Amino acid sequence: MAYFDAASSAPLHPVARQALLAALDEGWADPARLYREGRRARLLLDAAREAAAEAVGCRADELTFTSSGTRAVHSGIAGALAGRRRVGRHLIVSEVEHSSVLHSAEAHEADGGSVTRVPVDRQGTVAVDSYRAALREDTALACLQSANHEVGTEQPVAEVAAVCRAAGVPLLVDAAQSLGWGPVGGDWSLLTASAHKWGGPSGTGLLVVRKGVRFAPRGPVDERESGRAAGFENIPAIVAAAAALRAVRAEAAEGAVRLRELTERIRARVPRLVPDVEVVGDPVRRLPGVVTFSCLYVDGETLLHELDREGFSVSSGSSCTSSTLTPSHVLRAMGVLSEGNVRVSLPAGTPEEEVERFLAVLPGVVAGVREKLGAPAGTAPAGVREDALVVDALGRRCPIPVIELAKVFGDVPVGGTVRVLSDDEAARLDIPAWCQMRGQEYVGEEPADEGSAYVVRRVS
pLDDT tens profile 432-446: 999 999 999 999 998
Q: What's residue 230's pLDDT?
A: 78
- Reported as type and span, the H/E element at residue 2 is strand 2-3
Pairing of strands 90-94, 384-385: unpaired
Give how far the C-alpha of residue 399 lies from the chain's centroid of Cα atoms, to the nearest Å.
Answer: 22
pLDDT in tens, 219-256: 777 777 777 887 889 999 999 999 999 999 999 999 99
Q: What's residue 92's pLDDT?
A: 98
- The CB-side HSE value for 23 (13 A sphere, CA atoms) comes to 28
Q: Residue 102: pLDDT above 50? A: yes
How many C-beta neighbours within 10 Å does residue 95 have? 16
Residues with catalytic annotation? 320
Helix axes 36-56, 14-26, angle to 10 degrees: 150
Mean pLDDT of 145-151: 97
Give the whole-angstrom CA distance, residue 92 versus residue 114: 9
The mean-pLDDT minimum among 2-11, 32-41, 367-376 falls in 367-376
What's this model's pTM, rounded to 2 decimal places?
Answer: 0.88
pLDDT in tens, 327-366: 789 999 999 998 899 999 999 999 999 999 999 999 999 9
Residue 427 near residue 420 (C-beta atoms within 8 A): yes
Q: What's residue 308's pLDDT?
A: 97
Mean pLDDT of 389-408: 90
Q: What's residue 382's pLDDT?
A: 38
Mean pLDDT for the chain? 92
Q: What's residue 319's pLDDT?
A: 54
The band of 397, judged by pLDDT with boundaries at 50, 70 and 90, is confident
- Reported as type and span, the H/E element at residue 423 is none
First and final CA of the chain: distance in angstroms?
44
